[in-house]
């Protein structure tokens, strides 16, 4: 029985570098704060723009990686959950938040949660250490 390839093996097959999961988690953690609670201090308006762009960029890189790794059909609970998470993340990318600062912060935090979940799925699929 052949074992699953590691992230570096997968990237070699895909012709690129593996995603920088550590940087992605760092961006998500920055958006969510230490406790991911509603009382967490929001970023400044300028910081929010950068954070939103960063989270979107990470999601655009990681969504196809997780979708490709999970395969076209769910054959286990793990792959079903990964594909569901991909769908949620795509939906988050397609949403345009209301123009209020609070709505934009909430949307950035939703992007961050999706990114964190995709990082978890990527690591589970490839067996990387969390």
Q: Give the model confidence (pLDDT) of 11-20 as tens digits.
A: 434 557 889 9
Count the neighbouring beta carbons within 10 Å of the beta carbon of residue 43. 19
Note the pLDDT tens digit of each residue in 77-118. Answer: 888 899 999 999 999 999 999 999 999 999 999 999 999 999
Is the pLDDT score of 128 beyond 70?
Answer: no
CA angle 16, 53, 85 (to 5 degrees): 65
Instruction: Determine which of 34-38, 118-122, 126-130 has the lowest per-residue pLDDT on average.
Output: 126-130
Note the pLDDT tens digit of each residue in 18-66. Answer: 899 999 999 998 888 766 666 666 788 889 999 999 999 999 999 999 9
CA distances from 97 to 28, 33, 59, 110 (A): 18, 20, 17, 11
Torsion of CA 90, 53, 119, 101, to 10 degrees: -80
HSE of 113, CA atoms in CB hemisphere, 13 A: 12
Mean pLDDT of 119-123: 95
pLDDT of residue 118: 97
pLDDT of residue 70: 86
Confidence (pTM): 0.81
Please state, in angstroms and rounded to a whole number, the distance separating the CA atoms of residues 81 and 87.
10
pLDDT of residue 12: 38
């Amino acid at each position: 029985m052949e074992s699953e390839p590691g992230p570096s093996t997968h990237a070699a097959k895909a012709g690129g570098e593996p995603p920088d999961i550590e940087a992605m988690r760092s961006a998500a953690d920055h958006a969510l704060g230490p406790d991911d609670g509603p009382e967490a201090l929001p970023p400044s308006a300028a910081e929010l723009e950068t954070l939103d762009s960063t989270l979107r960029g990470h999601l655009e890189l990681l969504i196809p990686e997780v979708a490709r790794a999970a395969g076209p059909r769910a054959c286990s609970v793990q792959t079903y959950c990964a594909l569901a998470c991909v769908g949620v993340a795509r939906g988050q990318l397609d949403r345009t938040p209301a123009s209020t600062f609070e709505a934009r912060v909430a949307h950035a935090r939703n992007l961050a949660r999706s990114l964190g979940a995709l990082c978890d799925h990527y690591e589970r699929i490839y067996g990387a250490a969390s």
